[in-house]
Amino acid sequence: MNFKEFQTEQKLRGGYYTPVDLASFLVRWVEKKQPKDILEPSCGDGIFFKPLADLIPKARVTSFELDPVEAEKANNFASQAGLRKAAIRNEDFLGWAVDALQSGRGQFDAILGNPPFIRYQYLPPVFQDRAETIFYALACKFTKHTNAWVPFILASFALLRPGGRLAMVVPAEIIHVMHAQSLRSYLGKNASRLVVIDPEELWFEGTLQGAVLLMVEKKSHPDEHAEGLGMYPVKGRDFLALDPEDVFRAPQSINGKTVAGKWTRALLPLSTRSLLDGLADSGEVRRFDDVAQVDVGIVTGANKFFLVEDDTVEQFGLQQWAHPMFGRSEHCPGIVYDERQHRANADKGNPTNFIWFQDKAVEKSRTGRRYIEQGEKESLHTRYKCRIRSPWYSVPSVYATEIGMLKRSHDTPRLILNELRAYTTDTAYRVRIKEGTAEQFVYGFINALTALSAELEGRHYGGGVLELVPSEIEKLLVPSPLKVKAQVDDLDKAVRTMPMDAVLEQQTKRTLGGLGLSDADQLELLTGWKRLRNRRHRVSEDAD
Ligand SMILES: C[S@@+](CC[C@H](N)C(=O)[O-])C[C@H]1O[C@@H](n2cnc3c(N)ncnc32)[C@H](O)[C@@H]1O
């Protein structure tokens, strides 16, 4: 849990400052349009002012900075740098932007900056209201999962004159997080061209959050053709010596599907995207949702109490309520969960038992009551998920499925053939097959096409772990299970003993090769998957 009081002051302000070389590069790009009115919506101590004073000294610069100390520094810095027409307002940009959008005042030729990264839940209520108002004012879908940088970019872009330029340092998650979909769609619709400069390294020390440069040119008139999005991957800082205009024009832009959804597709070459689209439309390949159903796992509300190791079962005499369960990837090193794996987990002292008190009947038992009272002593019955059900100790929606799927994965997601019919908690999903057999689905799921589509549909955070939610899983491309010749034990052994890259190569040959996909196309998919997986892990392209 990320409690507000544990966040550092710098984090709560969303304040990681831009290195001056990146700021200069962005200023050089907007300078091409000779802007007269420039906005910096969250200027910090004013890092953009020096390059602005050097290159566009006559521009009127309107800046905002919430922190009075930083705003004061920015003020001094603007004078020192020789930026004559700079106004630094020590107030909330979002509040000002709401008024400006409603009154139609405040229009800019260029926008520069690095908006704050602050989760919506950490914003003061009045800022939350303003953020929400900005979404509605621009007819964009609002969600409480948003983050301050999203309404900052939305409002800034809306305040840009036709043909103007927005150049910002933004969180790399703009490419894929679901909550930024309104922003991606809004930019896709109103920009004549968008380019994301995507670095291999982390630009900000002390944060796991990756950043990218976003360069957007607004349409000159609503009917202007939208070129779409271009991705410009970089390694190191050599690109800063190039003409920013050349960088902006360099990547081939993509429109249609890519700009309508997550931008991850733009990280792939055209040949891979076309291959994916062709396969998605072929009869041999299906969407996950066509062949199986995915549901969340069991939500206990107090895992420490409900998921326990054998010793606790022994100590409290809970045998009659204890059921086998798994939930963590280290509990499932292969693709089969059977008695042998379960025993091995239990012998290691893992919490392999799910304690299920179906109803109040347990209170008739002295041992059952003793365990429940123990939980109450620890106030577990007052926890949200527990207190909203009755009795608090009876976990709802308890059923096991023949297939489980862990929510998170390092290389690529796997399905687990749940031979033991063990229960799974909320770290795993429950999967029910609609077509073919469970063996066919589990076996066919490991291949380069499914792995690549998981990279495209899923999300990842600082640590580089891939996570998929059910709505993303439903979209995964899978080989039709009916065509798969399953050899589950063989694959189980391979997953346990071989590196995932080698397993995927072998399985791609067996499953997709078996469907008639050429070696060259198999390689194209494997290469695409590796590129996205390595980017997620921040492994250099050269390392492979
Ligand atoms: C990521 S820093 C970037 C600072 C500067 N633009 C740079 O590039 O170095 C974001 C800044 O936004 C400021 N900030 C946070 N919330 C704000 C708000 N509602 N209005 C204006 N500034 C805000 C923070 O204090 C912080 O200085």
Q: How confident is the model at residue 24 (pLDDT cuts 50, 70, 90)?
A: very high
Tell me the pLDDT tens digit for each residue of 409-437: 999 999 999 999 999 988 999 999 999 99
Residue 209: pLDDT above 90? no
Residue of 38, 66, 70, 90 with the most ligand 1 atoms within 8 Å of its CB, for mutation = 66
Instruction: Provide the pLDDT for residue 207.
Output: 67
pLDDT at residue 544 tops 80: no
Pairing mode, if any, of strands 86-89 and 108-113? unpaired
260 C-alpha vs ligand 1 centroid, how far in Å?
A: 29
Q: How far apart are the first and last CA of the chain?
A: 36
Composition of the chain by helix, strand, coil, percent to 5: 45, 20, 35
What is the pLDDT averaged over residues 448-464?
92
Per the prediction, the chain carries an average pLDDT of 93
**Which of the four pLDDT bands, split at 50, 70 and 90, describes residue 253?**
confident
pLDDT at 256: 72
Quick one: pLDDT at residue 542?
62
- How far apart CA 71 and CA 128 sit, in angstroms, is 22
**CA pair distance 520, 525, nearest whole angstrom:** 9
Residues touching ligand 1 (Cβ under 6 Å) are 13-18, 42-44, 47, 64-67, 70, 92-94, 113-114, 116, 127
**What is the rounded distance in angstroms from the CA atom of residue 51 to the CA atom of residue 53?**
5
Contact assessment for residue 98 and residue 154, using Cβ atoms and an 8 Å cutoff: no
CB within 8 Å of 255: residues ≥ 6 apart:
188, 226, 227, 228, 229
Question: Average pLDDT in the 55-83 region?
Answer: 95
For 146-203, the pLDDT digits (tens) are 999 999 999 999 999 999 999 999 999 999 999 999 999 999 999 999 999 999 988 8
Q: Which two tokens stand for residue 131?
A: 């953020």
DSSP assignment letter at 175: G
The predicted model scores a pTM of 0.89
pLDDT interval class at 208 (50, 70, 90): low
Q: Are the beta carbons of 252 and 218 closer than 8 angstroms? A: no
For ligand 1, atom 20, the nearest C-alpha belongs to 92
Kindly give the distance from the C-alpha atom of residue 65 to the centroid of ligand 1, in angstroms, as a whole number.
6
The sheet with strand 459-460 has its strands ordered as 408-409, 466-467, 459-460
Question: What is the 3-state secondary structure of 47-91?
Answer: CCHHHHHHHCCCCEEEEECCCHHHHHHHHHHHHHHCCCCEEEECC
User: Does pLDDT of 372 surpass 80?
Assistant: yes
pLDDT of the residue at 5 = 46
Q: How far is the CA of 296 from the centre of ligand 1 (A)?
A: 38
Percent of the chain at pLDDT exceeding 90:
87
Measured between alpha carbons, how far is 202 from 208 in angstroms, rounded to an integer? Answer: 7
> Confidence class of residue 8 from pLDDT cuts 50, 70 and 90?
low
Name the 3-class secondary structure at 480: coil
Rg of the Cα trace of the chain?
27
pLDDT the model gives residue 105:
79
* Cβ atoms 74, 88 nearer than 8 A: yes
**CA 19 to ligand 1 center in whole angstroms:** 14
